[in-house]
Amino acid sequence: MDSFLIRGPCRLRGEVAVSGAKNAMLPLMAASILTGGLCTLENIPGLRDTRTMMKLLDVLGVSSILEDGILTIDASGVSSFEAPYDLVRTMRASIYVLGPLVARYGRARVSMPGGCAWGPRPVDLHLKGLKALGADIRIDHGYIDARAERLHGTEIVLSVPSVGATVNIIMAAVLADGRTVIENAAREPEITELAMALKTGGADIEGEGTSRITIEGVQEIEPFSHRVIPDRIETGTFAAAAVLTGGAVEIVNCRPDHVLAVIDKLASCGAKIEATESTLRVTGPERPEPVDIGTGFYPAFPTDMQAQMMAVLCLARGSSTIVEHVYPDRFTHVPELRRLGARIHVDGSVAVVTGVDRLEGAPLMATDIRASSALILAGLVAEGESKILRIYHIDRGYECIEDKFVKLGADIRRIKE
């Protein structure tokens, strides 16, 4: 298992380009199943999750080739309807094949995703949505078994604006008979992307990006080509790194309009931030000011930036409060940050971070994608050496992250073991 060796402290300087968005790409890859044809996706990052989704599609009979960031998917030969446990357990988003398989082929068998490091993460809303559309759903031997002659449009009210459930319901509803309305739909940019791509394939969708999405079912979805948006969480991660290290970083190929809540909090920390349509120039303060944060659904502060923001606040000039509203247990990075000397007290879903003058390098363990990027950030400012183990988590969601940090002046290297 590879690890990262980081020597701090450092001040990041220079330019970094953001890769395509993992969470926008995964639904688009699954949506190719709806077309039964040849789809092309551009700006595809070379991530472990990309390879996992390619493997899953391959198991279903859908071949794909990734070359120079362009993914060509041939969905004309779907021959299996089962997403096996071995793949689903490494990537929960495997459940995205459920909606398209049922909608186009009338059947799907997908291993039930388990919990994860930060909580139970249920999929009940995905299943409720598909049931409401007329699918017969049973759980047997740890698998979701879904069947339907034909899906029928209906009104679905989500009790939580779940990204995953919204994705699955949209993909199922585009081929259903009649009109589906999703109330309290997720408003994340990844949903808008999915709707836009499906619309180029002839889908009839309105209201994406709002809480009410209306879908008129069509007979078929034509193969589509789409360029994936830049990753907003990677953008936020580099912006946070610039602030924490008191550096000056120009983030290019990004969408500042997708990270307004993050920009707002980093500005409150004392950062100077200048944005254009596709660039973000972030200059960190000598030392961050404390800020209070509550995570929430888009456009609120993203839970996927909570760990990185906590790393920033570890060195703040005072106490900050972080309330995790989306995943109340998502604090696996806290004991690791404490190993560097951070002062963090967690009570339920609330963390109080009391800024310290300095952090000290230590051996650390990555626990999930975003928690691991927070450990890198903290390692960049900790004095001395930090070794981060289990970095396969970070490879799931960040493309060439160490190369990007090295280019910005960090002393970080990958140790192959």
- The residues assigned a catalytic role are 116
| DSSP, residue by residue, 158-169 | -SS--HHHHHHH
d(CA 332, CA 240): 19
Do 193 and 229 touch, CB atoms closer than 8 A? yes
**Among the listed residues 39, 47, 62, 163, the single contact to ligand UD1 using CB under 6 A:** 163
Per CB under 6 A, the segment of 97-105, 122-130, 244-252, 285-293 that binds ligand UD1 is 122-130
Per CB under 6 A, the segment of 117-125, 147-155, 210-218, 279-287 that binds ligand UD1 is 117-125
Position closest to ligand UD1 via CB: 164
Which residue lies nearer to ligand UD1 by CB, 146 or 382? Answer: 146
Which residue lies nearer to ligand UD1 by CB, 164 or 201? Answer: 164
Please list every residue from 285 through 304 that binds ligand UD1, using CB under 6 A: 302-304
The three-state secondary structure class of 179 is strand
Taking alpha carbons only, the member of 123, 57, 121 closest to residue 87 is 57
Q: Is 195 in the site for ligand UD1 (CB under 6 A)?
A: no
> How many residues sit in the footprint of ligand UD1 (CB under 6 A)?
21
Which residue lies nearer to ligand UD1 by CB, 93 or 254? Answer: 93
d(CA 180, CA 215): 5
Q: Which pair of structure tokens corresponds to residue 47? A: 């991530």
**Among the listed residues 143, 301, 327, 405, the single contact to ligand UD1 using CB under 6 A:** 327
Per CB under 6 A, the segment of 7-15, 161-169, 207-215, 243-251 that binds ligand UD1 is 161-169
Calculate Rg over the CA atoms of the chain.
Answer: 21
Which residue lies nearer to ligand UD1 by CB, 47 or 316? Answer: 47
Q: Is 237 in the site for ligand UD1 (CB under 6 A)?
A: no
Q: Is 123 in the site for ligand UD1 (CB under 6 A)?
A: yes
Q: Is 126 in the site for ligand UD1 (CB under 6 A)?
A: yes
Stated as kind and residue range, the H or E segment containing 222 is none
**Among the listed residues 122, 142, 178, 318, the single contact to ligand UD1 using CB under 6 A:** 122
Q: Which pair of structure tokens corresponds to residue 107? A: 């059947």
d(CA 156, CA 129): 6
d(CA 72, CA 39): 6
Residue 334 to residues 91, 306, 307, 316, Cα–Cα distance (Å): 23, 11, 8, 16
Do 192 and 209 touch, CB atoms closer than 8 A? yes
Nearest distance from residue 296's CB to ligand UD1, in Å? 9
Per CB under 6 A, the segment of 156-164, 171-179, 343-351, 380-388 that binds ligand UD1 is 156-164
DSSP class of residue 53?
H
Do 47 and 66 touch, CB atoms closer than 8 A? no
**Among the listed residues 10, 12, 26, 54, the single contact to ligand UD1 using CB under 6 A:** 26
**Among the listed residues 3, 9, 10, 23, the single contact to ligand UD1 using CB under 6 A:** 23
Residue 27, preceding bond cis, omega within 30 degrees?
no
Residue 100, preceding bond cis, omega within 30 degrees?
no
Taking alpha carbons only, the member of 183, 199, 190 closest to residue 163 is 190
**Among the listed residues 73, 148, 313, 326, the single contact to ligand UD1 using CB under 6 A:** 326
* Sheet hosting strand 70-74, strand order edge to edge: 63-67, 70-74, 38-42, 225-227
Per CB under 6 A, the segment of 120-128, 221-229, 245-253, 264-272 that binds ligand UD1 is 120-128
Which residue lies nearer to ligand UD1 by CB, 26 or 75? Answer: 26
Q: Is 30 in the site for ligand UD1 (CB under 6 A)?
A: no
Binding stretches for ligand UD1 (CB under 6 A):
23, 26, 93, 121-126, 160, 162-165, 186, 190, 302-304, 326-327
